[in-house]
Amino acid sequence: MRHEDRGVVLTAASAHMLTHAYMMIFPTVLVLIAADPSLRITGYFQLGIIGTFCYALFGIGAIPAGILADRYGSETMLRICVFGSALSSLGAGLSSSASALVLSMVCLGAAASMYHPSGLSFISRNVKAKGQAMGYHGVGGNIGLALGPVLSGAVAALWGWRSAFILFAVLGVILGMVISSLNVRGTTVVGKQAKAPPGQSGSLFIPMVLFLVYSTSVLYGLCYRGAMMYLPKHFVNNIYFAFNDVAKAGFLVSMVTLAGALGQMLGGSLCDRLKKPEYAYLLVFLFTTPLFFSIWLLKDWGLFRVSLMFAPFFFAWQPIQNTLIARYCVQSAHGISYGVNFLLIMGVGSMAASVGGYVTDVAGVSYVFGVLGLISMLSLLLVFYMLRRLPARI
C-alpha cells in the first residue's frame, strides 16, 4: 500500500471501528435493559422494536449522508458522524425512561448512518489498491464489533447498562478530536469505473451486476443484523462453560467478531487477486449457509467452535461487496452508491431485529438462526444467478 494511502485508510478504519462499537452496545446490555424496572419494558419484542428503529435509521440515513459526502466532502461528514454519535450515546446513558432511550437510540442510528457512505467513498476515491484497503477497513469494523461487546459487557457488569453508553460517548469525543487534528486528504485515484449510457444520469445509472450486488445486500443485511442482534442472547441461553451472562454476551461474542477480521483480510485479498472477484461471493455463501443451521442446533462448546468457524466466511463478504460497488458505480456517485447499499443492508436488515424478537418470544432465540439459514440459502441462489449474468469482459 502506498504511503499516502495509509493515512486515508487509518482515518476511515478508526471511525469505522467506533461506529460498529456503538451498534453493539445495545445487544450486549439487552438482558440488563430488559431487567430494569424503571423502563417498564415487558418483553424482547419491545426491545426488538427499539433496535429496529435504531438500525433502520442507521440504514436510511445513509442516503442523505451519501449525497452530502458527494457534495461537501467525506472528511466533513466523518467528523459530524463521530461527534454526533458520541452525543447520542451520552443521551442513551442518561436515559431514565423508555421514551428517552428510544429517542437516544434513534439519534444514535441517524448519526452513525453518516459513516459508511462517507468513509467508503473516501477510500474508493483516494486509494489505488481498493481490495486491500477495504480489507483493512473491514478489520477496523470487526475490532469495533469486538470492542463494543467486551467493553460494554465489562463496564455494565460493574456499574450498570447506562455506564456502557457513557464510556463510548467519551471515546467518541476523543476520536473526533484526533480525526479533526489529522486533517488527512488523499489524492483522487481514478480506476475502472462504470459509465452511464449517453443521455442517462450517471447517479441514476445502475449496471445489472451492481443491481444484483444490491439485491444480495438486502438478504445479507437481514442475516447480519439478525446475527449481531441475537448472538449475545443465544450465547447467554446455550453456552454453559462461561462465567456469567454478561461475560457470554460480551467476551465470547467479541472473540467471534475478532475471528471475523480474518475474513475481512481474506475477502480483500481475493478481490485483488481474482480476475473476477464476483466468484468470491460463492465461497462465502457456500460456507455460511450450513454454518447458520449448525449455530441453530448446537450448544455449549460446539456452538462456540462453530461460531468461530462461521465468522471469517460471514465477514469476508463485506470487502468483496464494497470493492464491487467501487468497480461498477460511476465515478461521480460513489457516496450515493454506498449510501444506497448501506440503506439496503441496514435499513431493510433492521427488520431482523423485530422479527428475531418475535421468534425469540414465541419459539426461542436459537430458532432465529434457523430462519437466518433459510435467508442465506436464498442468497446463495441469487449469487449463482449473478455469476451467470457477468459480462464476458469487464
Distance CA 25, CA 35 (A): 16
Taking each helix axis from N to C end, the angle separating 351-362 and 366-388, rounded to the nearest 10 degrees, works out to: 140
Q: What is the CATH number for 275?
A: 1.20.1250.20
Average pLDDT over residues 291-309: 92
Cite the beta strand spans of the chain per DSSP E.
none
- Tell me which residue has cell 469476508: 316
Count of structural domains within the chain: 1
List, for residues 140-150, the tens digit of each pLDDT value: 888 887 788 88
Buried residues in 103-139 as b, exposed as e (16+ CB within 10 A)? bbbbbbbbbbbbbbbbbbbbbbbbbebbbbbbbbbbb
Whole-number pLDDT of residue 191: 46
Q: State the cell numbers at 220.
A: 445479507
Whole-number pLDDT of residue 198: 41
> Which residue did the predictor score with more confidence, 155 or 138?
155
The answer to whether 306 touches 180, Cβ cutoff 8 Å, is: no
Is residue 193 predicted with pLDDT exceeding 60? Answer: no
Q: What confidence tier does 330 reach under pLDDT thresholds 50, 70, 90? A: low
At 274, is the secondary structure helix, strand, or coil? coil
Asked if residue 153 is part of any domain, the answer here is yes
Whole-number pLDDT of residue 293: 95
Percentage of the residues of the chain whose pLDDT score is greater than 90: 15
Average pLDDT over residues 348-367: 85
Asked if residue 199 is part of any domain, the answer here is no
Asked if residue 362 is part of any domain, the answer here is yes
Is residue 373 predicted with pLDDT exceeding 90? Answer: yes
* 130: Cα within 13 Å, side-chain hemisphere: 26
Average pLDDT over residues 333-349: 75
Asked if residue 136 is part of any domain, the answer here is yes
Is residue 24 predicted with pLDDT exceeding 80? Answer: yes
Average pLDDT over residues 232-241: 84
Whole-number pLDDT of residue 217: 86
Angle (CA) 362-363-367 rounded to 5° is 130
Any idea which of 74-78, 126-130, 150-154 has the lowest mean pLDDT? 126-130
Asked if residue 29 is part of any domain, the answer here is yes
Whole-number pLDDT of residue 168: 93
Measured CA to CA in angstroms, residue 118 lies from 56, 215, 325 at distances of 18, 21, 14
List, for residues 250-265, the tens digit of each pLDDT value: 677 778 888 888 888 8
Asked if residue 115 is part of any domain, the answer here is yes
Distance CA 93, CA 324 (A): 38
CA nearest to 246, candidates 3, 30, 6, 9: 30
Whole-number pLDDT of residue 87: 94
Asked if residue 105 is part of any domain, the answer here is yes
Whole-number pLDDT of residue 144: 86
Average pLDDT over residues 197-220: 66
Asked if residue 288 is part of any domain, the answer here is yes
Please name the residue ranges forming H helices in 239-350. Answer: 245-247, 253-273, 279-297, 300-328, 334-342
Element (DSSP H or E) covering residue 233: helix 208-238
Q: Supply the range of the domain harboring residue 354.
A: 3-194+204-388
